[in-house]
Every structure is written in C-alpha cells, then in structure tokens.
Structure 1
Amino acid sequence: MEITRIAAGDWEQFRAVRLASLSEAPGAFGSRHADWVDAPAERWRSRLTQVPLTLLAHEDGTLLGVVSGQPADETWVELISMWVVPEARGTGLAGQLIGAVVDWAAAQDKSTYLMVRSDNVRARRAYERVGFVDAGVPEWWPADEPPEHRMELRG
C-alpha cells in the first residue's frame, strides 16, 4: 500500500475516489455526489489547487482512500474529506492517512482538527484511536444541520 500526494494534474484519480466516497457515504460529507458528478475538469483541478494537501492511498493500481488537509488559521490545520473504501476499513489505513495529515500540520508547527458527524461512530472511533479528543459540537453549529463534533489533536 502506498500513500501519495497529488496535484491538479491528478484530477482524474481524485475524481474517481471522491465520487466513490460521496456515493458510498453520502451523509459523511458536506458535499453531495450530485454537486460533483458532472463537474468539469477545471473544477476538479481547482479543488486540488485550493486545498494544499490531498493524499491518495492505493495498492496495485486500486484506489483505497483519500484525505485532505488545509490550513485553518495560524495554529490549526483542518483534516477534511477523509474516506477509506469499505474493504480496507479496519486495516489501519485510516490511521496512516490521518497520520500523514497530522505530520504535514506538525511540519508547519500547527495542530490538527476535524469535524465529524455525531452519528458517524466508526469515523469518530478511528480518530480517537490516533489521539483526537472530542471538543463537542461548536456553539455556532446551525440548529437545522446534523450535528458535527470538532475533534482535536494538539501538538
């Protein structure tokens, strides 16, 4: 298994894994499959340019997972768009992807946080296993949206 950093030129690989994630776990993301399925190549390239870190996990040409990281402010990096194919869950791959974002943040002297839906128990457990702590649902979270917890890993 290999984890590689991708850029705008790798948009087709990103498109494949992102659409798979949005289709397989529609409630886990802020975006919807319908928002992206017909997106032009330029939108995919732009996403990979605007978000400075996107990593793909693959083995023997098969995409197994994806995760991204983006600076939130002077002290925090937000881990976003985390997904692992169902067949690779429970193998430690999620921890490796999370660790790669945490290492990227630490290299910038930043801590890492993420937002995860309250009902996504499996993801919350994966984050807890690598040391993230539940900081609760932010008080600014919209009442008409499914609640998301902020989880933090302080460096």
Structure 2
Amino acid sequence: MLPRASGGRSVAFPAMGGEITVRALTPDDWEQTRAVRLSALADAPDAFVTTLAEARGQAEAQWRAMLTPERGVRALAEYDGLPAGVVGAFDHGGVGEIIWMWVAPDHRGRGVGDALVAFCVDWCGRQALDCVLWVVDGNDAAQRLYERCGFVPTGSRQPVPGNGARMEFQMAYRPAGS
C-alpha cells in the first residue's frame, strides 16, 4: 500500500531510521539533477536507455528543458537531506509512464524506492492517468519493489529501446481492492 502524496511540490515519508523527502524538480535544479542522473547511469547502465556518455554531453539547456512541466515531472528523493534517488513520470499518449527510477546503493532497502513510486503514482492520479512502467528482464529487485507498491505485469513485452538484445516487460498500477 502506497502512502498518499500531498499533491504539493514536496512530500515527506516515514523511513527506516530517517526521513525521506521527495520533491518535484524544476529547471533551476538542473545541476543537481545532472549529478544524480550521472550517478544513476554510472551505477546501473543497463537499466536506462540513455548512456553515461550521452548524458555527460547534454548541455545546460537540455537539462533545463527536461525539467519543465510540459515534459512531465522529475523528482528527487532525499534521505535525511542527502540525495538518495530520482524518478520521473510523463503523459505517454494518455497513460502515465514512470521513468528514470533509481535509488542510490547506500539508500536501498530504506523505503526510498517506495516513496519515489508513491510520488509518481500520485502525480499520475492527479493528471487522471493510469500508471505504467517497464522493467528490464532479470531486474528482480525492481520487480519486487513495484509489486509491493501495487503494480502487476500486463503481459506486454518489448525490446529495450536502444538495446534490442534485451527485453523488458510492462507493469501497471492496480491498487488493492480495484
């Protein structure tokens, strides 16, 4: 069961041993976004379509543009004030799609992933969008997180964009009792 986000820019979640805050990022947060995104790409290169080299080559204007409301939402999780993870969601043809999901290795298992997912599910709900995401085959930890948060496999599969040798499967948010 996901905690309900407040609908504001920032929401606090109880955590194991600390406090998690998730806040929507704005174009003015581009440098912090870049730093966290580069960490994500270095840590888990197979989990993302964008490569570390591509992200390093993006100009300030590109980082700022991806943080505008027209591009959906990107959010940063902080654990006791330190960057702990990042996530995004956008309207993909009338369906909310979660992207960019990553939790820093030293913050895994503390509820950061749950808080990031809750933030995006809430954002999708406020946009009146169903919520889906894609999981790369073999990413069992991600699948367990999403299942714990109320996502179920849809049966849809596709090659990972930019890496047709790998496959991914879609999961959709189905809250308990729906």
Taking structure 2 as the reference length, the TM-score comes to: 0.80
Q: Which residue of 2 aligns with 1:57?
A: 77
Contact 1:79–1:112 under 8 Å retained in 2: yes
Gap runs ≥5 in structure 1: none
- Distance (Å, rounded) in 1 between the aligned partners of 2:22 and 2:164: 37
Q: Does 1:152 align with 2:172?
A: yes
Query: What amino acid maps onto 1:120 in structure 2?
Result: N
- Tell me which protein shows more strand as a share of its residues: 2
Q: Percent identity?
A: 36
- Number of aligned residue pairs: 153
Q: Which residue of 1 aligns with 2:87?
A: 67
Deviates more, 1:36-45 or 1:13-22: 36-45
**Structure showing greater relative contact order (alpha-carbon pairs closer than 8 Å, 6 or more residues apart):** 2
Q: Which residue of 2 aligns with 1:42?
A: 61
- Distance (Å, rounded) in 2 between the aligned partners of 1:95 and 1:87: 15
Q: 1:16 aligns with which of 35, 40, 45?
A: 35
1:6-155 maps to which residues of 2 (within 5 A)?
Answer: 6-49=25-68, 50-74=70-94, 76-138=95-157, 141=159, 144-154=164-174
Classify the secondary structure of the residue corresponding to 1:27: helix
Query: What amino acid maps onto 1:38 in structure 2?
Result: G
Taking structure 1 as the reference length, the TM-score comes to: 0.91
Structure 1 residue 61: Cα displacement: 4.2
- RMSD of the TM alignment (CA)? 1.8
Contact 2:151–2:172 under 8 Å retained in 1: yes
Structure 1 residue 100: Cα displacement: 0.7
- Distance (Å, rounded) in 1 between the aligned partners of 2:159 and 2:139: 17
Query: What amino acid maps onto 2:132 in structure 1?
Result: Y
Which 4+ runs in 1 deviate beyond 4 A?
Answer: none
Query: What amino acid maps onto 1:64 in structure 2?
Result: A
Query: What amino acid maps onto 1:63 in structure 2?
Result: P
Contact 1:137–1:147 under 8 Å retained in 2: no
Gap runs ≥5 in structure 2: 1-19
